[in-house]
Structure 1
Amino acid sequence: MVLSAHSTFMKLTQYLHGFVMLTSENTRLTEINKKQCNPALHTGNAYNIKPGMRDTERFIALTEREMEYLFRIIDSSTSITQRHQFFLWAQGDVQSLLPHVALVCILDEGSGESISIEKFSRTQLFEAQFADLCRPEGGIIFRLMSAWSAGKNQPLLLCPGKPHTTVYRHFATDLKRGNLERVAAHGMYDANGRTSSFFAFTQFSATLNERHAYFLELLMPHMHMALVRMLFHERHRKEGAVAGKHRKLITDRETEILRYVQSGKNNHEIGHLLNISPLTVKNHIQKILRKLDVNNRAHAVAKAMALKITL
């Protein structure tokens, strides 16, 4: 009986020892697998995120405010169907991450269709200047698009702060002549590698860096879809009838008031200039808002510009 108990005890001890060793080995292998499946991400002064990022590459961590800006931009982009909405979006929400003055958009639908070139600017960009920028042969916008395509479709940043880079030197003269200053550009391409859209943000108010390049990558799909949606709805509306209707609705006096609103005048200033009371000005503005189906002065000006009613 004693020998039998001793033998049983030894076998149990060996079993438990083996179980502990096996458990330890399994734990070690599990930890190794976790590290392999979830490589550590390095935060800090990172520059870019690329598909298949390795744990040795830098990682850009967005701040809470930047994430809020990003969500707002994406969310508001989904409701864009009209030109004045795109204008307000580009010169409004998008400015929080990409602060620029003018935006030039190109959409190439392929299949022999014509290329659409659109501009959205809060300053007056004369037609002659715009035409020069967008010349198919030699215009800076198409040359930027070619440089972007040649650069493996990575975000393109041109900044006087980095004057010695090859790309900046190539465009320096044009940037100075066109008063474009800092330019950030990016686009979308199809499964065959053909450029389908291109967006050039000009006259940045901040020094461009890799963070802006990351913002461009995040926003491009939404910029592309907003532009496509806007053009789709424009083509399937009777633009002439809509514009004509609005032109008839806006009287000469309301047109005059709308011009003063665009220049930043308040009701008292407009009333003084037109020799009418501020209350009369207010009533005219209320009529303008109803006729253009907008909510405020800024929207009225933007829609008037988009429809080429007055401005």
Structure 2
Amino acid sequence: MEQLVILSKLEQEYLLHAIEAALPVRQAGQFFLWTQGQLQALLPHQVMMCLQFGPQDEVQHVECVHSTVLDAGLLGRLGNRDDGLALRLARHCRQGVGLPAMLDATPGAERHPLAPFLGELRDLGLDNLLLHGSERLPGGATFFALFGLPHRPRARHAYFLELLLPHLHMALQRINQQQRQARAGARARPASAREMEILYWVREGKSNEEIGLILGISGLTVKNHLQRLYRLLGVSNRAHAIARGMALHLFEQPALALAEAA
């Protein structure tokens, strides 16, 4: 976005208010109020998908912000953590599409770098699109997709989003941190040393029988420990348990030394 953009006095005021209002945002509810207030004044849109990635580009957090009731199917297509449209857009942009990026999904956009998504956007009824995201950072990257802008996006809109990106990035990180702490505090008890041993070997790709051989217990006992750990973490399978353990930094705790010594 090299086109020179000169902000009007009113736009400067809106921008300053948006930045000031972003500073105290720590929770999802505060984030919602900010995006539906000051952010909407500069960048009106129907839906904003916010993604946070970990150091290995794994999806750590997805936040969908919208002011109207949306169909569950639409939300799933936008925000699915495995293959949702927002995630695919983020990966596509990381392959060389310059950010911020915008797309007017009307006839004539077939040569745009985001053209592969035109059909899907039109099918969802979210024609206009504005994207931006951080680079890969030690604390993780973020990506923001604004769908359904009421007007055709222009360089001015991309510039607004570029100016607000640091505040979106920090707000999303704070929300993710607050939710991790809330989940950790909500656990009825800490994970036991044995449960952490088992979770460590699950992360290493071992089966229940293999873990049992390593720890000198039966595969059925391993399964029972895992079921209790699933309930403790609020998950339903091995992959989710590993992801939740990473989010809660369980693998960094002293109990891990027991697993490594087993």
Q: TM-score range by the shorter chain?
A: 0.5 to 0.7
Query: Is 1:126 matched with 2:99?
Result: no
Higher-RCO chain (CA-CA 8 Å, sequence separation at least 6): 2
2: CA distance, partners of 1:163 / 1:152: 15
User: Which residue of structure 2 lines up, in the alignment, with residue 180 of structure 1?
Assistant: 126
User: Which residue of structure 1 lines up, in the alignment, with residue 116 of structure 2?
Assistant: 170
1: CA distance, partners of 2:128 / 2:154: 11
2: CA distance, partners of 1:190 / 1:108: 9
TM-score, reference length from structure 1: 0.54
| Greater C-alpha Rg | 1
- The amino acid of 2:29's aligned partner reads H
Query: Among 85, 88, 98, which residue is 1:143 paired with?
Result: 88
User: Which residue of structure 2 lines up, in the alignment, with residue 160 of structure 1?
Assistant: 105
The 1:123/1:216 distance shift into structure 2, 3 A limit, reads: same
Q: Where do residues 268-287 of structure 1 align in structure 2 (5 Å cutoff)?
A: none
User: Which residue of structure 2 lines up, in the alignment, with residue 204 of structure 1?
Assistant: 149
SS at match of 1:107: strand
SS at match of 2:182: coil
2: CA distance, partners of 1:147 / 1:138: 12
User: Which residue of structure 2 lines up, in the alignment, with residue 100 of structure 1?
Assistant: 45
Query: Is 1:79 matched with 2:79?
Result: no
- The amino acid of 1:93's aligned partner reads Q
Unaligned runs of 5+ in 2: 187-262
Offset of 1:113 from its aligned partner? Answer: 6.2
Task: Give the share of equivalent positions with the same residue, in percent.
Answer: 31
SS at match of 2:173: helix
**Number of matched residues?**
185
User: Which residue of structure 2 lines up, in the alignment, with residue 37 of structure 1?
Assistant: none
Deviations 1:190-232 (A, max 9, x none): 358x971111111101111111111111111110101111222
Offset of 1:235 from its aligned partner? Answer: 2.3
Offset of 1:236 from its aligned partner? Answer: 2.0
SS at match of 1:189: coil
TM-score, reference length from structure 2: 0.63
Deviations 1:73-131 (A, max 9, x none): 11110111111110011111001111101111100122586521110111122333222
2: CA distance, partners of 1:105 / 1:112: 14
The 1:113/1:171 distance shift into structure 2, 3 A limit, reads: closer
SS at match of 1:204: coil
2: CA distance, partners of 1:111 / 1:78: 28
SS at match of 2:32: helix
